[in-house]
Chain A
Amino acid sequence: MTSLGNSSSSATEYVVRVPKNTSKRYSIMAFNAGDKVNCSTWTQARMERDMSNRRMYGEEETAEGAAGSEFGKKQREESRRKKFGIITKEFKVEDQPWILKVNGKAGKRFKGLKKGGVTENASYYIFTQCADGAFEAFPVHGWYNFTPQAKHRTLTAEEAEEEWGRRNKVVNHFSIMLQRRLREQEHGEEEEEGAGEKGGKKKKKKGGRGGDLRIHDLEDDLEMSTDESDSSGGEDGEGKSKSKKETNAKGKGKKKKKKKGSDQEGFEDSDDGDFEGLEVDYMSDESSSEEEEPEKAKPNKGDDVPKGIDEASESEEESEEENKNEEENKEEEEEEDGKKTPVQAEKKKKKDSSGESDTSEDSDIEGETASALFMAQKKRTPPKRGGRGSTGSSRTGSRPGTPSIDNAATSNTLRAAASKLEQGKRQATVPSSDTPAAKRLKMDPSSQSPSGKSTPQPASGKSTPSSSDVQLTEDAVRRYLIRKPMTTKDLLKKFQTKRTGLSSEQTVNVLAQILKKLNPERKNINDKMHFYLTE
């Protein structure tokens, strides 16, 4: 080191060395300014290559040898790739990102991605000053940009989209992640079996509307079934009610939103005024509570696991609704985790609050338009209420066209006798008033009124006065039989269910009666029994 004295400048000279045989390879670890990383504060650090991309490069290995493998598969794959010119990039360990963990498990995590193009046109050197004052220069082999990794839970893409859709309504953002966490917990618990879990689950569910958000495979079926049951006035088919319960238990905002949306759409779409009449019938509170009781009774059998949740959610819903009605002021409280406790308290009351649920039915609907705070909770409950065969939504007359399917289908589905009779009575009274009029218009020449035929039949045989050209009347049958001999099959073909609006069962019944009346002559043609009339 020599110092040169000069009048205007003073300089010191240092020798620069580039050591030749270092075993160490130097790399740069770059952090963002905003992260405020101070390396001197680190007590302990671990750094490893992130090998998670390896499987992308190693193509899927089908079973090597023995089962599932083909002879010479590897060679064939290779030659195939060569033929098509597919070049797969190698997996270079050198280029893989680093994972840096500072201060152990609880500390920060960083991911270091290699920056390309650093050593292409210019080289970077690290100048360190040695003890003897000389500088040593080491070349830099790689530059890695380290970014901190989030440790907090984040939403997945689907969940994020869902939440985005609700952004205008959700005010309580804390609940979003809370529910998600509880949902996850529940998933984990369901895997373990045991009725003992039920108690644990109930506890967990306290704060958690999350418990309601469970995905079932029957989802699609459930949607349909709830629609049907709504319109038909809470049919309590065993399977259906059970699944219905679960739908309710779900309270998945998305799903219920769909339903709500569909409700609204249905309102505009359904021009058919007939169904309003149907739904009006179910305004009475007693009927709904009737439905609710059997509903509750039924789901009590069956799986422990889903049932426990259903029951728990049931109570929760009711208690929530009470909350809604009574505690709308306690917004702040609810926002914190402390919201668990009020719900907890209410939960204890539980069970036979079906009456309450009905009374709060209306508040439901208000609730939907009420304070946004409870949207997250309410989101599940009101549609749940509506969806649940208490036909809440159907009462409001907002069900879509599904009832038309139902009217025809209900008699097909043999469910609890009680509900059938109920339903049969109602439907028979309401639509049959319409049908005779329509029928009379069409069948003026016919001597007998079709409605006379329809009423004795169970469950609204001809409730849908669809614009059919063919009515299953005695006259029509007579005409056919006079013209030529026909088998029963042929006759049935003539009166297609689509065109008469009857189900196949009904058609058969009606046809049988008609034939009895007519008492046609029988002839065996081609080994088949044909009927014919001579007049």
Chain B
Amino acid sequence: MSDRGDVDLTGAKQNTGVWLVKVPKYLSQQWAKASGRGEVGKLRIGKNQGKAEVSFTLNEELTTIDSTSEKASLVRAPREHPFTMQTVGGQTLAVFTENSSDKIALEGVVVQRAECRPAASENYMKLKKLQIEESLKPHRFSQQLDKAVTTNYKPVANHAYNLDYEKKKKEEGKRARADKQQVLDMLFSAFEKHQFYNIKDLVDITKQPVIYLKEILRDIGIYNVKGTHKNTWELKPEYRHYQSEEKSD
């Protein structure tokens, strides 16, 4: 357990610098489609009259967009993406990773922040248009049906469910009074599991007629009218031994 919490500080000690780059959603989607070693494109860093220029070029094969709509095939993701560089500001941004085994390691500190912007091109505009159209579609809509739905709620002489129910009842028959001792045994074992029972549940468990059951219960139990466990039966105190899980008769 102590291993879990420990943070591997090698990255912090080495002061590894990383870049934090904000990437548009469509681009990250395209990146997810990368094959092989995961090469997605090329990053060009240049100095143009004293200013650093960074730009990312998407690989050709990743420019195709798959989308459900038909128009998608016509649209291509833009390739050129200049990066806007920003400072980290006063903040200290550290990067940590979690293993599948929940081991935490500090990878490094962010030294540069950047935003990946698509170069404004025809392609990009078309892509955006497509996206907007998609998002404008309502998720729920009304649709007119040609034919009336007739597959449910047919009038039936007696529902299947009902028939089953009646059969089951017949099988079970009326509840017969069993031996008092047997019933008591059943009750005690039931009360061992839970302290409070509803009369209906007890009838279910013991399969006794209600009146008979109530008589027996009046002997050994009390009926809670008020309090949290309303309308429930519980054993009389002298019959209870909840701590040691024993019962006395």
A binds B: yes
Instruction: List chain A positions with a Cβ less than 8 A from chain B.
Output: 4, 6, 8-20, 23-35, 37-40, 42-48, 63, 65-73, 100, 121-128, 135, 137, 139-140
- A26 in contact with B195 (CB, 8 Å): no
Q: Do residues A70 and B28 form an inter-chain contact, with CB atoms below 8 A?
A: no
Q: Which residues of A contact B97 (CB under 8 A)?
A: 24-27
Given contacts A15-B39, A18-B40, A68-B195, contact A33 B89 (CB under 8 A): yes
Question: With A26-B107, A40-B15, A122-B22 as given contacts, are A48 and B93 in contact (CB-CB < 8 Å)?
Answer: no
- In the assembled complex, B48 has its CB within 8 A of some CB on chain A: yes
Give Cα A20–Cα B93 distance, bound, in whole angstroms.
24
Q: Are B193 and A16 in contact (CB under 8 A)?
A: no
Shortest beta-carbon distance, B61 to chain A, in Å?
14
Q: A9-B53, A71-B201, A127-B21 are in contact. List 16 more A-B contacts (CB 8 A).
A: A15-B43, A18-B40, A27-B97, A29-B94, A30-B94, A31-B94, A63-B195, A65-B193, A68-B195, A70-B194, A70-B197, A124-B20, A125-B23, A127-B19, A128-B19, A137-B31
* B1-53 interface (Cβ within 8 A of A): 4-7, 9, 12-13, 15-16, 18-25, 28, 31-32, 34, 37-49, 53
Known contacts A45-B9, A127-B19: A11-B53 contact under CB 8 Å: yes
Residues of B within 8 A of A23 (CB): 99-100
- CB-CB under 8 A from B110, the residues of chain A are 28, 126
Are A71's CB and B196's CB within 8 A? yes
B40 contacts A16, CB within 8 Å?
A: yes
CB of B44 within 8 A of CB of A12, answer yes
Q: Given known contacts A20-B34, A26-B107, A39-B106, is B7 in contact with A126 (CB within 8 Å)?
A: no
Q: Which of B94, B198, B243 contacts A28 (CB 8 A)?
A: B94
Residues of the A chain whose Cβ atoms lie less than 8 Å from the Cβ of B106: 29, 39, 45
Contact indicator A18/B12 (Cβ below 8 Å): no
Name the CB-closest residue of B to A142.
B98
Report B199 CB to chain A, min CB distance, Å. Answer: 11
Which residue from chain B places its CB closest to the CB of A70 in the assembled complex? B196
Asked whether, in the complex, the Cβ of B98 is within 8 Å of the Cβ of A66, the reply is no
Q: Chain B residues near A10 (CB, 8 Å)?
A: 46-47
Q: Which of B15, B43, B95, B98 contacts A126 (CB 8 A)?
A: B95
Chain B residues, Cβ within 8 Å of A27: 95-98
* Interchain CB contact under 8 A, A34 and B90: yes
A125 to B232 CA separation, bound complex (whole angstroms): 60
Contact assessment for B94 and A39 in the assembled complex, using a CB-CB cutoff below 8 Å? yes
Can you spell out 10 A-B residue pairs with CB atoms less than 8 angstroms apart? A17-B39, A24-B99, A25-B98, A32-B90, A68-B196, A71-B194, A100-B7, A122-B25, A123-B25, A125-B22
Chain A residue, CB-CB nearest to B5: A46
A125, B16: Cβ atoms under 8 Å?
A: no
Residues of chain A with a CB closer than 8 A to B245's CB? 66
Docked-complex contact A45 and B6, CB < 8 angstroms: yes
In the assembled complex, which residues on chain B have CB atoms less than 8 Å from the CB atom of A135?
A: 43
Chain B residues closer than 8 Å to A126, beta-carbon distance: 18-21, 95, 107, 110
Query: Which chain B residues lie closer than 8 Å to A125 at the CB level?
Result: 20-23, 28
Given A27-B98, A30-B93, A124-B23: A16 in contact with B39 (beta carbons within 8 A): yes
Q: Which B residues are CB-close (under 8 A) to A6?
A: 46
How far apart sit A40 and B45, CA to CA, in the bound complex (Å)?
28
Expressed in whole angstroms, the Cα–Cα distance for A29 and B201 within the complex equals: 54
Chain B min CB distance to A208 (Å): 38
Cβ contact within 8 Å between B25 and A121: yes
- Hey, what's the 0/1 contact readout for B188-204 against A, CB within 8 Å counting as 1? 00101111111001000
Query: How many whole Å from B40's CB to the nearest CB in chain A?
Result: 5
Q: A34 — which chain B residues lie within 8 A by C-beta?
A: 90
Residues of B within 8 A of A69 (CB): 194-196
Instruction: Determine the residue in chain B with the shortest Cβ distance to A65.
Output: B193
Indicate if the CB atoms of A66 and B193 lie closer than 8 Å: yes
- In the complex, whether B130 has a CB less than 8 A from a CB of chain A is no
Say yes or no: A30-B91 contact (C-beta < 8 A), given A12-B44, A20-B38, A124-B20. yes
B153-210 residues at the A interface, CB under 8 angstroms: 190, 192-198, 201
**Residue B108 at the chain A interface, CB threshold 8 Å:** yes
Complex contact B195–A48 (CB within 8 A): no
User: Complex Cα distance A27/B232, Å?
Assistant: 53
Q: Which of A18, A25, A63, A72 contacts B34, CB < 8 Å?
A: A18
Contact between B34 and A70 (Cβ–Cβ < 8 Å)?
A: no
Could you tell me the distance in whole angstroms from the C-beta of A434 to the nearest C-beta in chain B?
55
- Return chain B residues, CB-CB under 8 Å to A14: 42-45
Residues of A within 8 A of B4 (CB): 48
Task: Provide the bound-state CA to CA distance between A135 and B32, in Å.
Answer: 16
Q: Does B127 contact A (CB under 8 A)?
A: no
Partner of B194, one of A9, A17, A47, A65: A65
Interchain CA distance A12-B201 in the complex, whole Å: 79
The answer to whether B45 touches A11 (Cβ under 8 A) is yes
Q: How far is the CA of A320 from the CA of B24 in the complex (A)?
A: 71
Residues of A within 8 A of B15 (CB): 40
Q: How far is the CA of A15 from the CA of B40 in the complex (A)?
A: 8
Tell me if B216 counts as interface (CB < 8 A to partner A).
no
Q: Which residue of A lies closest to B245 (CB)?
A: A66
Is there an interface contact between A13 and B42, defined as CB atoms closer than 8 Å?
Answer: yes
In the bound assembly, the distance between CA atoms of A128 and B21 in angstroms comes to: 11
Which residue in chain A gives the minimum CB-CB distance to B88?
A33
The 8 closest A-B pairs by CB, nearest first: A33-B90, A11-B46, A67-B242, A39-B12, A127-B19, A45-B7, A46-B5, A70-B196
Closest chain A residue, CB of each to CB of B37: A17
> B40 touching A47 by the CB < 8 A rule?
no
In angstroms, Cα B45 to Cα A102, docked, is 37
Contact B45 A67 (CB under 8 A): no
User: With A31-B91, A127-B18 in contact, do A39 and B109 touch (Cβ < 8 Å)?
Assistant: yes
Least CB distance from B174 to A in Å reads 24
A123 to B15, CA, bound (A): 24
Question: How far, in Å, is B87 (CB) from chain A's closest CB?
Answer: 12
Q: Does B104 contact A (CB under 8 A)?
A: yes
Q: Contacts A24-B98, A46-B7, A69-B195; is A16 near B49 (CB within 8 Å)?
A: no
Chain A residue, CB-CB nearest to B97:
A24
A38 in contact with B194 (CB, 8 Å): no
Distance between A39 CB and nearest chain B CB, rounded to angstroms? 4
Cα-based distance from A58 to B139 in the complex (angstroms): 34
A40 touches B93 (CB 8 A): no
Query: What residues of A have a CB within 8 angstroms of the CB of B42 in the complex?
Result: 13-16
Q: Which of A4, A42, A122 has the most CB of B within 10 A?
A: A122
Contacting A at CB under 8 A, from B57-113, are 89-100, 104-110
A126 to B18, CA, bound (A): 7
A42 touches B196 (CB 8 A): no
Cα–Cα distance between A13 and B196 once the two chains are bound (Å): 75
| B56 within 8 A of partner (CB) | yes
Please, which residues of chain B bring their CB within 8 A of the CB of A47? 5, 7, 96, 104
B229 interface residue per 8 A CB criterion: yes
Q: Nearest chain-A residue to B49 (Cβ)?
A: A8
Inter-chain CA distance A32–B92, complex, in Å, is 7
Give the distance to chain B from A71, nearest Cβ to Cβ, in Å. Answer: 5
